[in-house]
Structure 1
Amino acid sequence: MDFDLLVYAGIGALLLLIFLMVYFKDSESAQKFSKFERMVEELMQQNHQLRREMLEQNKQIKAKEAAFEEYFHKRVQEEINTNVMPLLNSLREIENIMQNFQEEQQDRLSSLEERTKTINRFAAPSATSNEKQVITLFKEGKKEHEIAKELRLGLGEVQFILKMNYLK
């Protein structure tokens, strides 16, 4: 019985040693898991903090972009007002001057035409014999160059006589 007791005591001691070894290994593993849990939790907090900082930075960037866009728009508008608008106003003034000049020339031309008509009215009764012959031949249906050839006049002179008498 002593031997059995000794075997039981040995087995018991062996079981106790195995139990203690498992217990220490388990507690060591629990500590490692606890460390891992804390590290994972810290990493999650850092991740959350970084996301929050990134969102704030994105907001700041968007605000800066909006401010820059507004500044750029104002600057472009100022440049337009200082450089382009004076040019545009100058072009409008030039356009008005040209329009006035054109109207003056049109008035002068009308005045000259009126004078020419009055001169023709006074000059018509005292027409030279060439003028009378040119008008007569033109009314008969002859062409300008035929009239010039027949009367031995220049073509330009025949055309001028016809224009002065409103036949052409």
Structure 2
Amino acid sequence: MQRAGALVLSLFIGMNFAAAADAVRHGGEYRRVRGDEALPRGFDKLDLSAAQKAQIRAIVRADQETRQSPESVRAQREALRRKMQSWREQERRLLGNRRFDEEAAQRLIAERHQERLAWQRQQHELRMLKKRHAIFQVLTPEQQRRYREMQYGK
């Protein structure tokens, strides 16, 4: 029984040291990064009112919900389906040739890969910029100035 108690105590102490080490690694501040209480990085330094914090949290939650909403997934799937039809047609032409055109096949594969990555990156950046803009509109002019200084040094 004493061994079990000692084991629990040592685990508890070890977890506290790990949390403290993590806080030191992140600039000495221990802050919550998940859950409903989390604010985007840097906003905790802007002296936000309770109403502003609530608005920002609502914007972040709405972004998380729309990220995988059925409408957005459906639209993405439809756009990809149209593009895949075009790629299949190009594949059919490749297969119909008497000789295999390796360069054309490599171009097709590279185009598919680039297009998928570029589209995903663009959609992600657009969504993030919309969210940042909505959050920025919640701030007072003074908070906006301070945020710009923190982010861009201006």
- The TM-score, its normalising length taken from structure 1, stands at 0.26
Of structures 1 and 2, the one with the larger relative CO (CA 8 A, separation 6+) is 2
Higher helix share: 1
TM-score, normalisation: structure 2: 0.28
